[in-house]
Amino acid sequence: MQDDILAIALELSESTRSKIADLDQIMMKTKILTMNARLEAARAGEAGKSFAVVAQEMGAIAGEVNDLSAALQANVTQNASRIREAGEGMAIALRGTRLSDLARNAVEIIDRNLYERSCDVRWWATDSAVVDALEQATPEACAHASSRLGTILRSYTVYLDLWIADRNGRIVATGRPERYRGLAGADVSGADWFRRGRHTATGDDFAVCDVAVEPRLGNAAVAAYSTAIRAGGRADGAPIGVLGIFFDWAPQARAIVDSVSLSAEEREKSQVMLLDSQMRIIACNRREREGQVYPLKPDQPIGHYIAGARLIGYGLTPGYETYRGLGWYGCIESALS
């Protein structure tokens, strides 16, 4: 719509310029006629005096019209420039708003996805097989728990693995022992997900860590969620260990940034990103930028601004239900032209 308005305004401006040019041509012809009339009046002598007066008035009128034409031309030129600037400003503002809305939507989608992960970890920590692996602590109970975790993983394909660790941080069961070997008995007591999960206050609480590479899972990027496994599977039971679940970050996040609703032309000159709270690029449609720190300068939760020849739209995570989010941003950088 704004492009149509701008086009109409500029077309009107060009039409006015053309008419002014036509008027200038008419005035030039009038001046020539006036000059010829004065010459003829001079030749006629006394008989041409009255005609000379008419010719003089015609010249004066032609001069006035010429001055008016010049003033109108200057005014049209000035206003055309203002119309163009206003139109371009309007177009950039609307485009920036669209980019920021799309950026906010991208981070909202990942938040809804991660909210479900926070539900999963709290639910699975109460599973009787998971609790028994720690309370009974027998090889049979641990094998049953591992089988149970494997069943979960066959349905929930967004996870790389699920781990059960005892209160000392020793892994007693995993969901994919055939894929990720040698994890049984591994010490994870120093891992952030374990420490934070162990200190959750109740079974209604969970811990979530920023996206990070997990060496024990083939150096894959994961978002780790954890919560304490409690005695009897009760929300108020004493912590007896920790359940850690590892969300397969890269394919899920990349699917989101790749599916943002940009036209083919927009996508060609745009970069769609998810940024963590430290402005580290944790997903991008230009894969080579992942891991870099992006110089985003937000001054409000959602907005846009111009940086050199680029238009930047961004949106802060609003969280989703009980998931408050981690201070992540959706961000789209696009060339202005």
Which one is predicted more confidently, 222 or 40? 222
Please check the confidence at residue 50 and state whether its pLDDT lies above 90: no
Which one is predicted more confidently, 90 or 144? 144
Phi, psi of 19 (to 5 degrees): -65, -35
Q: How far is 170 from 28, CA to CA, in rounded Å?
A: 98
Classify domain 2-92 by CATH architecture: Orthogonal Bundle (1.10)
Which one is predicted more confidently, 70 or 312? 312
Which one is predicted more confidently, 105 or 320? 105
pLDDT per residue as tens digits for the range 57-72? 666 666 666 666 666 6
The secondary structure of 59-88 as a DSSP string is HHHHHHHHHHHHHHHHHHHHHHHHHHHHHH
Average pLDDT value for residue range 89-94: 83
**Segment (H or E) for 224:** strand 220-230
Q: Are 207 and 196 in contact (CB under 8 A)?
A: yes
**Intervals of CATH 3.30.450.20 along the chain:** 125-252
Q: What is the DSSP letter of 325?
A: -
Please check the confidence at residue 240 and state whether its pLDDT lies above 80: yes
Please check the confidence at residue 168 and state whether its pLDDT lies above 90: yes
Please identify which residue in the block is written with the tokens 């929300």: 235
Confidence of residue 87 (pLDDT cuts 50, 70, 90): low
Q: How far is 333 from 90, CA to CA, in rounded Å?
A: 18
Neighbouring residues of 237: CB distance < 8 A, sequence distance ≥ 6: 203, 230, 231
The secondary structure of 169-201 as a DSSP string is SBEEEES-TTTSTT-TT-B-TTSHHHHHHHT-S
**Intervals of CATH 1.10.287.950 along the chain:** 2-92
Tell me which residue of 337, 263, 327, 330 sits closest to 102, measured CA to CA: 330
pLDDT per residue as tens digits for the range 170-200? 999 999 999 999 999 999 999 999 999 999 9
In CATH, 125-252 is 3.30.450.20: yes
Specify the pLDDT at position 337: 80
pTM for the full model? 0.75
Judged by average pLDDT, the poorest of 59-73, 111-125, 229-243, 289-303 is: 59-73
Tokens of 160: 């790389």
| Rounded-to-5 percentages of helix, strand, coil across the chain | 55, 20, 25
Q: How far is 31 from 330, CA to CA, in rounded Å?
A: 67
Tell me which residue of 324, 264, 268, 312 sits closest to 100, measured CA to CA: 312
Specify the pLDDT at position 323: 78
Q: How far is 144 from 89, CA to CA, in rounded Å?
A: 64
pLDDT per residue as tens digits for the range 103-154? 999 999 998 888 999 999 999 999 999 999 999 999 999 999 999 999 999 9
